[in-house]
Structure 1
């Protein structure tokens, strides 16, 4: 019984500490983030191409045909199939997923624009 109380008190203490520290850790920084030239170079050579490729792959998957798993067309086809089998709740869930996924195209296009702006502003043009 004594060990259980100690464990409970320790757990409560940890939870209280996390509640106090969480707002401090999540506070916005006071100024802009600055990167060293080495960090900018690493972003230009490694991260930007990787992020561009991921955004393109996601866009291709979302816009893919009914045979592409995860595409909007695939989700709509699955919803229609479920509806014809009498599974209305499943069909509605799949349709909502398809609609939400279609909305991601704008977010991916915005991310690509931000990557292009970063590249134009900070990455040297190869000769």
Structure 2
């Protein structure tokens, strides 16, 4: 008795997949005798004068201002939304209301946010160093 067309097709497809797996499995598991190539060093980026002017004139000042604004916000008082003091005040308020889980989350956010001040200071130092090394003050050639 012959099976239906779909049964035969499924049987043939399953047999084909099984045969392919039997052939490919030893090839895939074989260890390579040559080590992976070492990563190549990254070449320095060169900018055209127009691109350099855009970086020094547009991006560096924007990034410096952004870092300064974030630092001011983090170090702001309890009335400044997003500041560490604001998060700690909200945590104390939640704790007073008996919401310890929310208070703990707010306290952790405050601690994490306080840790960002060091990262922002490092970023600002790097931006200042880049500007000093690569950006000419106006009027000098």
TM bin, normalised by shorter chain, reads 0.7 to 0.9
- Give distance in 2, aligned partners of 1:65 and 1:110: 23
When normalised by structure 1's length, the TM-score is: 0.75
Alignment pair present for 1:115 and 2:127 = yes
- Give distance in 2, aligned partners of 1:125 and 1:41: 11
- Point out where structure 2 has 5 or more consecutive residues left out of the alignment: 1-38
Equivalent of residue 92 in structure 1, options 104, 113, 138? 104
1:29 CA displacement: 7.1
Q: 1:47-66: per-residue Cα shift (whole Å, max 9, x none)?
A: 11111111111011000000
**CA 1:80–1:118: 2 relative to 1, 3 Å:** same
**CA 1:28–1:88: 2 relative to 1, 3 Å:** farther
Q: Which has the higher helix share?
A: 1
User: What secondary structure, in the 3-state scheme, does the structure 1 residue paired with 2:82 have?
Assistant: coil
User: What secondary structure, in the 3-state scheme, does the structure 2 residue paired with 1:77 have?
Assistant: helix
- Give distance in 2, aligned partners of 1:63 and 1:38: 37
When normalised by structure 2's length, the TM-score is: 0.68
For the pair shown, which has the larger CA radius of gyration, 1 or 2? 2
- Give distance in 2, aligned partners of 1:30 and 1:124: 26
Q: What is the CA RMSD across the aligned residues, in angstroms?
A: 1.5
Alignment pair present for 1:55 and 2:67 = yes
- Give distance in 2, aligned partners of 1:57 and 1:71: 11
- Give distance in 2, aligned partners of 1:120 and 1:98: 34
